Amino acid sequence: MKIGFHTDAFNSAYFSFEACLQWAKKNGVRWIECGLIDGVSWIHGLGYQPHVALYEDPALLRRKMDGHGVRFSQIDAAFPLSGKEGPLRGVPYVMKSIQWARLIGCPRVDTTDGLHAPAGLEDEEAMDLMKRSYEQIIEVAEAHQVTINIEPHGYFTTKPEFLERMLGFCDSPCLRMNMDTGNTFIAGQDPAAFLKRFIDRVSHVHVKDVSESLAAAARGQQTGIAVSHVALGDGVNAGNIRKCLELLRDRGYDGVLSIECEGQGGPMIERSLAWLRQTLAELKIPAE
């Protein structure tokens, strides 16, 4: 399996994307994931945000990334598609992200729904809305040969029965799943059981632990975690992560395990990286 990380680990440290590349090179991590910005942001322009804007030239950025020995495993275009703004803002954003991903050689784009039931829509209305949105998105994804992942992160996607229907919106190999160990846990699910149900559709994995305090306060009440403030192995979800890794190993998964946690400018994500490498070794899983 391949080890990567999401640059949101360095949101609080106000790293630039360039600084994330340097961290990856220093720590021997070859795979990176970041959010895409559609437009201009002063904080990004000043170098205080670890994500990438769609106006940045993908050929030049790829040249810079190659210089650090780092490639994209996925780019994050997870504007919620379940609400009324999904077709208006989310669909064009995802479509542009697909085109940009193709140009930079990134094989996957991450998508999701909103954290809460969409205001003014019944569940079935929202599902119909998302089906039309994904049909448009997958048409573009197939043309560019880019995989669209659905991540369990919101009101619909953390419920297995709804996620199963969403993964069936289109009969296409380009529609897959991004498993998230932390979001499934905080939503009240058993991450290993959740993964087992969808393991044949998984093309990318977010590895995320959950602090004891957050679990006590929010488990079953929230559907996603913005950034986990605990290193891998230090939270109450560590055992579930290990079970998920065993399931992935036994299924022959050889894709990316993308670490998601608060980095504290380095120390916390470095502990996470060490734990993941050690756990993979204990489970006899070759790691890249």
pLDDT in tens, 50-89: 999 999 999 999 999 999 999 999 999 999 999 999 999 9
What's the pTM?
A: 0.97
User: Residue 93: what pLDDT?
Assistant: 98
Place of tokens 């950025």: 61
Q: Which two three-digit tokens encode residue 234?
A: 């230090």
Helix and strand element counts for the chain (H, E): 12, 9
User: Residue 260: what pLDDT?
Assistant: 98
In the chain, the amino acid numbered 92 is: P
Neighbours of 258 (CB within 10 A): 24
**Helices 91-104 & 58-68 angle (0-180, nearest 10):** 50
What whole-number distance in Å separates Cα of residue 15 and Cα of residue 19? Answer: 6
Question: Are the beta carbons of 49 and 80 closer than 8 angstroms?
Answer: no
User: Residue 268: what pLDDT?
Assistant: 98
Each residue of 227-261: pLDDT tens digit?
Answer: 999 999 999 999 999 999 999 999 999 999 999 99
Report, at the CATH architecture level, how domain 2-282 is classified. Answer: Alpha-Beta Barrel (3.20)
Q: What are the structural domain ranges in the chain?
A: 2-282
Angle at 203 between CA 198 and CA 54, to 5 degrees: 130
Question: Which positions of the chain have pLDDT values less than 50?
Answer: none
User: Residue 218: what pLDDT?
Assistant: 96
Q: Pick from 53, 151, 41: which is nearest to 100 by CA?
A: 53
- The overall average pLDDT reported for the chain is 98
What whole-number distance in Å separates Cα of residue 257 and Cα of residue 123? Answer: 32
